[in-house]
Amino acid sequence: MESKHHTFPAGKPDHPQVLAWPPLLFAAVVTAGWVAHRCDPIVLRPLLPARGLAVAVALAAVALASWAGVAMRSAGTAIHPSHPTTAIVPAGPYRFTRNPMYLSLCLLALAPGLWSGGVWLLVAAPVLGCVLHWGVIRREEVYLSAKFGGAYRAYQASVRRWI
């Protein structure tokens, strides 16, 4: 299924024009959660903190992002969303989710909330998911559909957006 179709309509930038670099969005949302937690600490007890779970989730997030990065490098396509995508990557974690790197960012955003039990930190993960969905993923889908046409639409139909 890997496509090496490189053309893009004249006059259009050959990248998805995402809201911002996804790790920057991660940092902004998690920082906002941390600031809210420091200003108004609402902590869930007795279920949380779940420090062992927090560590496991963080390690899983790093492993997933690393696996996705290896798959993208193996396919010879850019990881940074401001660079042109040169291939659809149906290998590695991309067989199970179209967005393993963004899923890993959401998992990593969840870890501080699990560690501390802080509600604002826990809320950061779904907020980040929404920001990534509307500010990054939807824009990438439009771009990839325009660039790769039916090959990308077939991939969309066969692999879930998240999990």
Q: Is residue 2 part of a domain?
A: no
Classify residue 135: in a domain, yes or no: yes
> Is 35 among the domain residues?
no
pLDDT at 15: 79
Q: Treating both helix axes as pointing N-terminal to C-terminal, what angle do 119-132 and 100-116 enclose, rounded to 10 degrees? A: 170
Instruction: Please tell me the predicted confidence (pLDDT) of residue 7.
Output: 55
Count of alpha carbons within 13 angstroms of residue 4, beta-carbon side: 2
Token pair for 64: 């997933």
pLDDT at 131 exceeding the cut of 50: yes
SS3 107: helix
Predicted pLDDT at 46: 64
Per-residue confidence (pLDDT) for residue 5, from 0 to 100: 47
Per-residue pLDDT averaged across 102-118, rounded?
96
> For residue 4, what pLDDT is reported?
47
How much is the mean pLDDT over the chain?
91
Q: What is the pLDDT of residue 19?
A: 82
In percent, how much of the chain has pLDDT > 90? Answer: 80
- Looking at the domain assignment, is residue 31 inside a domain? no
Q: Please, which residues bridge with residue 43 across strands?
A: 118
Please tell me which residue, 32 or 7, carries the higher pLDDT value.
32
Task: Judge whether residue 3 has pLDDT over 50.
Answer: no
Long-range contacts of 29-34 (CB under 8 A, 24+ apart): 29/109, 29/124, 29/127, 29/128, 29/131, 30/109, 30/112, 30/121, 30/124, 30/128, 32/124, 32/127, 33/109, 33/112, 33/113, 33/118, 33/120, 33/121, 33/123, 33/124, 33/127, 34/112, 34/120, 34/121
Region of residue 76 (left: phi > 0; alpha: psi -120 to 50; beta: else): left
In a domain, 110, yes or no: yes
- Of 110, 102, 101, nearest in space to 66 by CA: 101
Question: The domain containing residue 113 runs over which residues?
Answer: 48-77+88-158
Q: How many domains, in total, are found in the chain?
A: 1
Residue 9 lies in a domain: no
- Residues 16-72 pLDDT 10s: 778 899 999 999 999 999 999 999 999 987 666 789 999 999 999 999 999 999 999
* 144 found inside a domain: yes
Please tell me the distance from the alpha carbon of residue 54 to that of residue 140, in angstroms, as a whole number.
30
Residue 115 lies in a domain: yes
- pLDDT for the residue 9: 61
Q: Given this model, what pLDDT does residue 11 score? A: 66
